[in-house]
Every structure is written in C-alpha cells, then in structure tokens.
Amino acid sequence: MDEDVLSRARAWVEQDPDDETRAELQQLIDRGDAEELASRFAGRLQFGTAGLRAELGAGPQRMNRVVVTQAAAGLARFLIDTGRDRSVVIGYDGRVNSDVFARDSAEVMRGLGLEVTLLPSALPTPVLAFAVRHLGVGAGVMVTASHNPPRDNGYKVYLGGEDDGSQIVPPVDGEIAAAIDAVAAGDVRDLTRATDYTVAGPELARAYVDATAATVPAPALPVDAQPKVVYTAMHGVGWETARAVFAAAGFAEPAVVPEQIEPDGAFPTVSFPNPEEPGAMDLSIARGVAVGADLVIANDPDADRLALAIPDGAGSFRRLSGNEVGWLLGWRAAARAQAAGSSDGTGVLAASIVSSPALARVAERYGLGYRDTLTGFKWVSRVPDLVFGYEEALGYLVDPGVVRDKDGISAALAMLDLAVSFAAEGRTVADQLDAFAAEFGAFASGQVSTRVDDLSRIGEIMTSLRSSAPSSLGGRAVTGVTDYSDGVEGFPPSDILRYDLEGGARVIVRPSGTEPKVKVYIDTVAASPAEAQTLVDALAADVRPRVS
C-alpha cells in the first residue's frame, strides 16, 4: 500500500460529510484495496470547460460532497478575486445527489459572502441558463451529468456580465480550476457555511416559460387539428416545463411515455439515458406507433438536448439525426431572419466543426453569415450576431435572446411550430427533408465511435493517424488534411484531425470531451440521398479499423 495514498485517503474520510461515501472509502482502507484507492487518489477530477463530470463515489477522482464543496468554494473565490459580480444562481436536475450537491454549493457560497439563489426544485438546464441572464447574476451552476450513464453526476458553470450567460471557456476554466485546487489543499470542514440563501419562487420558471413560448407565432392550426405528438423526458426533468411551454404557446399537449415521464435517477428503462444511444427511444417509438403519432419528441434527462423520430412509412418510426434536425431548424431560422430583414450578413448561423456543412449552404443562400466553431455550446453561443446555432449531438440554440446555450425545450417548440405549419399545408416533416435536399443538396452524415477502457489508447490512436495520414478513404482521394493541434486560424489548438475528400466529403476525428471515446464524424453530399448515404457507409467501413 502506497503510504501517501493511504494518508490522503484517511484525511479524506475525516473531512467527508457524507455517511455513504465515508463508509465506502473506509471499507477500501480496511481491506487494503491498493488498486482501487490508487484509482481514486491518483490526482483529482480536472475542472475544465465542461466543468466536472464523473461517477459518484468517494475520493478526488469521483463526484461527491467533498469535491463539490471544493468546487463551489473555488468558484466563489474566483468571482471574489477577479472582481466579478458576487452573485450566483444554482440549479439541479433529478440525478442521484443533485439536490444535495446544489444545497452544499449554496451553503458554501453564501458562507463566503455571495448572494445566492437556489432554484426551488429539480428543473431543466435551460431554465438555469435562462436564470443567469434573467437575474443578472455573476455566475450560474447547474448540477447535472446531462445524458451520461446513471451513476454519473456533474457540475456545469455559466458566467454572467460580459459572458452573457454562456458556459465558461479558456482561460477562465483554468483560473477557476486553480482556485479550486487552492481550496482542496485545505480541509472542507474549515469552510464557513450559511443557510440564509434565497430559494427562487415559481415566477422564475414561469418567466422562462413565457419567454420561450413567445419565440414562436400562434399555431397555424387549432389544437384539435394539430399533428399527434408523443413526448418522453427519459426519466429526466423536462416534462413539466415543456408541458407548460407547449400550452403557453398554444400547442396540443403531447401523449407521454408514462414509464419515463417522471424524474428518476436510477433510469430504470434505459441503460444509457442518451437519445442518441441504440434502444434509448424504443419506448417512445412504441408509444408513437400505439397512438398513431406524427412526431416523437425526446429530451435528454436535463432537457438541453432534443431528439426526434418520424413515421417511416412501414409502420414504425425512424430517428432523425442531429444534423437533419439542425438543417430543418436552421432553414427555419434563416427564413425568419430574412423576413425580419437580416439578409445583409449581419445575422449569423453557426455550427460546430463536426456538424454537417449543409448549414453553411443555407446561410449563403439566405445572405447570412456563417461560422464554424469548436465542439460545445460554450463556443457556439458566443458567436457574434448569432440567430441560430447547433451541433450534431442533438444540441440546438433557436433563440439566443432567451438562452445562451443549447435548449431542448425551445428547440422542441420550434419543431412543433414547423410540424403544425407543414400540416396546415398538407405536408410532413419527411416532405420538408426532401425539400431540403432539392433546395440545398443531398447531404448525409454518419459517425463511428471507439470506446476505450484505457484512456492512453485515445492518444495512441490520434498519434497513429498523425504519423500515417491516409491518401484515400472509402475510395475517395484525400485532398487535404487539417491538424487543429497545430493551430488553425480562428481556433485554439485542439486535438482534431480533418480529412477533406474529392467530391466534397469530409471525415473528422477527435477524442470525446465527455466520454472515453474516439469519435469520427463523416459528412457527404451527392446527387441523391441514397448516393450520399452509400458514400457514408463506405467511409465508415474504411475508418472503423483505423480507430479501433
């Protein structure tokens, strides 16, 4: 047993306020589990632009009350030391211990002298992002692990003021991390706590509902003539807020997936509560078939992402890709911007670099600006003059004036607006996808992911690709290779490789920012959707062994 690790583990037990994690760690010490103790104490969770996210458990490499207390105190000290507004709003979702972590944060930050507002119940991440701007506070904290596995939790940070309610980006993340490390050098029992923080009233969530409902016009059809819709919250916190938004905007209440509609941190019907994962939407699609729905809507557990499925013509449904939804919402946003007079390049559409290039073609057609960003809405939301932004991982920002982050509820509302408008014209969402291909070109996209057990394998894969760049992929010549680690104009150095292919196709490879994966993004454009998809399949078959 490493004596340093053992000493730190014992010190952790002494300061841990949680009976469960304290007992868990003491058991590891008592049975001399050197390997597990080393994994818990070989460093600490890195606080970065995604905040914190990890499995629940004892020790500095897990999510627990000690780590959260240190993070809260570090963030508070950052706000104080940098002269920012000393106020914060804190939200939380329905995951295990989210409410506990939120209250710990409120008490510690209030104890350090900040003005603290705690949301009154488990609410969607977009409500917290909205609250940062609505309340005019210096920072926001959302306790959530979004769509991660059930045993995970996390800590996401937003900044007010000049940051306008966006998530943190470098170098601020490093400054907060340094402040957290300084706190972690001491004992959390020495931190002053206070319970006289403010708990927000129902008017805050209502303000979000009203602001979001106002982003769409009155429905083109009365409630009883609107398309049939199924909604699932995937055991998350989206339903009550989404339901209120849909009603306030004049849309019919969807049929729900009863097994998944209430918050449940155990996620009993899905092994991985991410609408992108195979099987995650099976219950909602079954419900769609049962009620004869025209559209299935799924939010992820904290409701900042949106997934859709539409009838496939064969008695079931097909899930739309994140890019397909982005195309439809981007086309809607461009048409609205043009109608509002933003056709001189002052309005901008934006997408992460791993999202489909189709949105750039929409922007060009409508006389709008276009920007690629690094992955993550912390970058998308900061694009000047933004009117719409998305990333293929089911994230959409449909009204930057309300929320400066991806918002699965406002995006769902925008899709309801489209679906009802199409129905009033005798058309469907599928018809609009066909119209998109006819108007802008037949685009297709795909993805290959390799999950690893050893994180060092990710570096090995990226190094291998850099040392032996392919001359062709999927039978198409590679016409250009861009290594973002070298620094590309407009982007900070990033571990991303891009291969441009003859005919306009491209392949992008990068490590995941939230999971132990290498992810490959494939985008093609061709004369027909079938031809574009055939090329995607060929590229995927060629790429898969290269990243395994």
Is residue 344 scored above 80 in pLDDT? no
Using the Cα atoms of residue 329, residue 270, residue 301 and residue 375 in order, give the sign of their dihedral. Answer: negative
pLDDT at 342 (0 to 100):
62
Q: Locate tokens 């097994």: which residue?
A: 259
Instruction: Tell me yes or no: is domain 47-200 CATH 3.40.50.300.
Output: no
DSSP 499-533: EEEGGG-EEEEEE-SSSSEEEEEEEEEESSHHHHH
User: What are the sequence ranges of the domains in the chain?
Assistant: 47-200, 224-440, 442-547
Q: Taking 70 as the threshold, does the pLDDT of residue 493 lie above it?
A: yes
* Fold: same for 47-200 and 224-440: yes
Distance, CA of 123 to CA of 202 (rounded, Å): 11
- Provide mean pLDDT across the span 115-138: 98
* Mean pLDDT in residue range 524-542: 96
**Residue 343 banded pLDDT, cuts 50, 70, 90:** low
pLDDT at 345 over 60: no
pLDDT > 80? residue 346 = no
Residues 472 and 240: their CA atoms lie apart, in Å, by 50
Residue 256 in this model has a pLDDT that exceeds 60: yes
Residues taking part in catalysis:
146
Position 496 scores a pLDDT of: 94
Q: Which two tokens stand for residue 509?
A: 């490879």
- CB burial of residue 479 (10 Å; 0-12, 13-18, 19+): middle
442-547 has which fold? Answer: TATA-Binding Protein (3.30.310)
Q: 157-206 pLDDT, tens per residue?
A: 999 999 999 999 999 999 999 999 999 999 999 999 999 999 999 999 99
Q: Specify the range with the lowest mean pLDDT, choosing from 248-257, 372-381, 402-411.
A: 372-381
The pLDDT of residue 38 is above 60: yes
Query: What pLDDT score was predicted for residue 536?
Result: 97
| Omega prior to 171 cis, within 30 of 0 | yes
Mean pLDDT, residues 525-545 taken together: 95
| Cα end-to-end distance, the chain, whole Å | 35
**pLDDT in the model for residue 486:** 82
What pLDDT does 96 receive?
A: 97
| pLDDT surpasses 90 at 488 | no
Fold of 224-440: Alpha-D-Glucose-1,6-Bisphosphate; Chain A, domain 3 (3.40.120)
Q: Is the pLDDT of residue 428 over 70?
A: yes
Predicted TM-score of the model (pTM): 0.95
What is the C-alpha to C-alpha distance for residues 257 and 232, in angstroms, rounded to an integer? 5
Q: Is the pLDDT of residue 216 over 80?
A: yes
Residue that the structure tokens 């002053």 belong to: 192
pLDDT band at 396; cut points 50, 70, 90:
very high
Radius of gyration of the chain (CA): 24
Distance CA 369, CA 311 (A): 34
Residue 332 pLDDT? 98
The pLDDT of residue 180 is 97
Quick: pLDDT tens for 270-294: 989 999 999 999 999 999 999 999 9
Choose among 302, 249, 307, 252: nearest CA to 275. Answer: 307
Mean of the per-residue pLDDT values for the chain?
95
Distances (CA, A) of 532 to 37, 356, 539: 50, 13, 11
Note whether 86 and 38 are within 8 A (CB). Answer: no
